[in-house]
Structure 1
Amino acid sequence: MFSAALLTAAAIGAVSAQSSSFSEGVIATGTMGVTNPPEATLGTDVNQTSYARLISINDVDDWCIFAPPEAGVTIGDSEAYEVAWCTKARNNARVIPDGTITGVSLIKTDFYVQLMAYGDFTKLNLQQGDYGGELDPHGASGDGNPVGGNVTTNIATGDDLHFEEWMSFISYSQVCFRICTNANETWSSGVMCEHKLDEMGCEFVMPGNYNFNGTFESCEAEVAYPPGVYVTAIDGTSTGYSTFAQYYTGVYTADGQPVSYTVGTTVTPTAPQMTPSSSNCKTTATISNGLSLDGAAAATATSTDSGSSSSGMHL
């Protein structure tokens, strides 16, 4: 494994985390999803049937993730219409019930903010044993998975800013979410939030210390190499890289005839280029919003038909 210092050395003209200027492609330029509030807002009404899709990741006890709006569907089947669930009442989103989360590690780096958490996400409508899938601002239609999903963080500058590139993996027991807050001449925010490695899982795509279950911490950390990127050679001040592409096959039709194709690498790496180390960690005993959500599950179940119909109109 190579030191993260190599990555830092490659960071030509890196944007300061406290700067008000950002490289092209870092700050989101699209419109807010039609189900979302105008801006990230703390202290909104609790609405356990909301279809808002605005994610904010700000602190160890103030963050959101995407999960299904109703039970009985897998992440793979519902990725286009996931909704926001937040640890606090914010963004007109649904609130994550106390007791759902069993461990959190929130890390800040010079290039991204990364949330990693363990918990019982069946309480957020995931199916027991669903190993989940990957969500990002692109999707099959180019409108995002979920459609209209937006993200903000105030960790980069202290202000709630909308960022263009992000990615999230969620299963019934684990979630990881990265918001890419920086770019330079070597690594764009899209490369740092590479979203085409959906079968590789959190520890490969968003490496870090995953031995935190039972702990609630916020840390600073080294910058990991972009997902799938490996150092091949170092010659003086020049560094060579290779990129792992996830392997899959398919068939398309040309002139009425099926044509098979293969994409990616047949040999799968066993680990990412490096696992960044954390520092300056601060822990808290637990996280809790203290909100009474009694009857929320019943309210959600009652609204399932209308919720699905509403979501359909927005997609």
Structure 2
Amino acid sequence: MARVTLLPIVAVAVSMVRAQSGTTTSLEPLASKHFTWPNIPYQVTGDEGGIRGPQFGYNLCNSTTENQQSLCQTSFLNSLDDFCMWSSSQTDDTIGESEAREVAWCTKPGHGTRVLPPGTLQGAQFLYAKNYLQVVGFLDQTKVGLDPTDEGGELDPHGADEQGNPLGGIVFTNGFGQNSASYQSQFKAGGNGSQTFTQVIEWIDFIGGGIFCLKMCNPSDPNAAELCQHVYDEIGCNWNALADYGSINGTFSVCDSDDMTPPGVFTAPNGQLTTWFQPLNGPITTIPYTTTIPSSSNCVTYQSTDLYAAAASAFPTTTSGSSTATTTSGASSSTGTAKSGSSSSGATSRTGSSTSSQPTNTSSSGALSINSAPLAVGALTGLALIMSIFA
């Protein structure tokens, strides 16, 4: 989808940014690096991390790196019981401080990563849409290294220098081509799905304020970059990963879903299809459109103790329960807002990063409140934000 014509002053600013950033434009963008599983390098970015330095962790992850100090930066989004989120490797951290060095935290062992401790997830919904996979929900973010007051921000494979946030962070999935029914069968059979994984090129990941949302767009869809826009980092999950957040907290469900309208795209009162762009700087006091949650169907609700029993087994103090699933049907189409507690900004307290096992090569945001909806705020401001949007 074509962007609107830039105002002259903005175009000049962008030209200046590009002219002054020759050290980064010569590097291959992270989103241009394609890999076939499991043939991935030890580090995707390595020492060529651009203006922000070398890659923090590693991408070649296996059983030798699977522990709570892992610095694995290869993530997965497969299903409701098998997905990872990016978060800090430290404690009492913020997304604004840690965006370049995020590591993968996963719902189950097997990916060579850290595992989400029991009680981290407080509600989640996984959507199989036509052209993307999406999981959203609520969490205790202190269990993944974040300060409880951090309103968070957005991670994606771009960033101001096109090397990604986190640097070198890559994502795979076996979920494309699946739906709610196939997941039900897989879950009842106790399977993990196909072991053929596809790299996700365009994705977004928001975390903070007790909310998370991950959306992975199908690389075979020509509009993947539009559905997974990374330039709306200050308006949070409610505009980037549409779902009925108000009904998700405390529940765990899987649904089929229609695609959402790409972020920023709306029909104006005069009937014209219009694109709104997040301002380059300054506060966002209003957004000129409301969102409509895509219709969903074939929803199934699960018990969290069943979904995450494998993770709980790594923490002996937690026990798993019996397996139950409640099936519902019907479609929903409504506008909802996230219901999460409002957090005030606070100073972070660093405790230092943990040491991590290295892999053995055995295989080849302060809070904005707009229309009463809490918004995760990204860390990019000023020059870095201009570079991120127009790189």
Contact 1:28 1:163 in 2 (8 A): no
Is 2:318 the counterpart of 1:304? no
Deviation at 1:208, TM superposition (A): 1.4
Deviation at 1:56, TM superposition (A): 0.8
1:77-156 equivalences in 2 (<5 Å)? 77-156=97-176
The structure 1 residue matched to 2:73, chosen from 53, 71, 80, is: 53
Report the structure, 1 or 2, having the larger helix content. Answer: 2
Amino acid at match of 1:63: F
The structure 2 residue matched to 1:277, chosen from 275, 278, 295, is: 295
Amino acid at match of 1:231: T
Contact 1:104 1:217 in 2 (8 A): yes
Deviation at 1:33, TM superposition (A): 6.5
Count of aligned pairs between the two proteins: 256
Give the corresponding residue for 1:175.
Answer: 212
1:230-245 equivalences in 2 (<5 Å)? 230-232=266-268, 240-245=272-277
Give the corresponding residue for 1:292.
Answer: 314
Q: Which runs of 5+ in 2 are unaligned?
A: 1-30, 44-56, 178-193, 318-349, 357-391
Deviation at 1:240, TM superposition (A): 4.9
TM-score (norm 1): 0.72
SS at match of 2:281: strand
Distance 1:96 1:86 in 2: 6
Contact 1:27 1:162 in 2 (8 A): no
Deviation at 1:103, TM superposition (A): 0.6
Deviation at 1:231, TM superposition (A): 2.7
SS at match of 1:249: coil
Amino acid at match of 1:304: S
Deviation at 1:172, TM superposition (A): 4.2
- Sort the Cα spacing of 1:27 and 1:233 in 2 relative to 1 into closer, same or farther, 3 A: farther
SS at match of 1:77: helix
Report the structure, 1 or 2, having the larger strand content. Answer: 1
Contact 2:172 2:199 in 1 (8 A): yes
Amino acid at match of 1:283: T
Amino acid at match of 2:150: D
Deviation at 1:136, TM superposition (A): 0.2
The structure 2 residue matched to 1:249, chosen from 278, 281, 291, is: 281
Q: How far does the alpha carbon of each residue in 1:68-121 deviate from its partner, in whole angstroms, 9 at most, with x for none? A: 000132101110001000010132110001111111100011110001021101
Identity %: 34
Give the corresponding residue for 2:232.
Answer: 197
Distance 2:285 2:144 in 1: 35
Contact 1:97 1:293 in 2 (8 A): yes
Deviation at 1:145, TM superposition (A): 0.1
Contact 1:48 1:93 in 2 (8 A): yes
Distance 1:76 1:55 in 2: 20
- Sort the Cα spacing of 1:48 and 1:294 in 2 relative to 1 into closer, same or farther, 3 A: farther
The root-mean-square deviation of aligned C-alpha atoms, in Å, is 3.1
Amino acid at match of 1:201: G
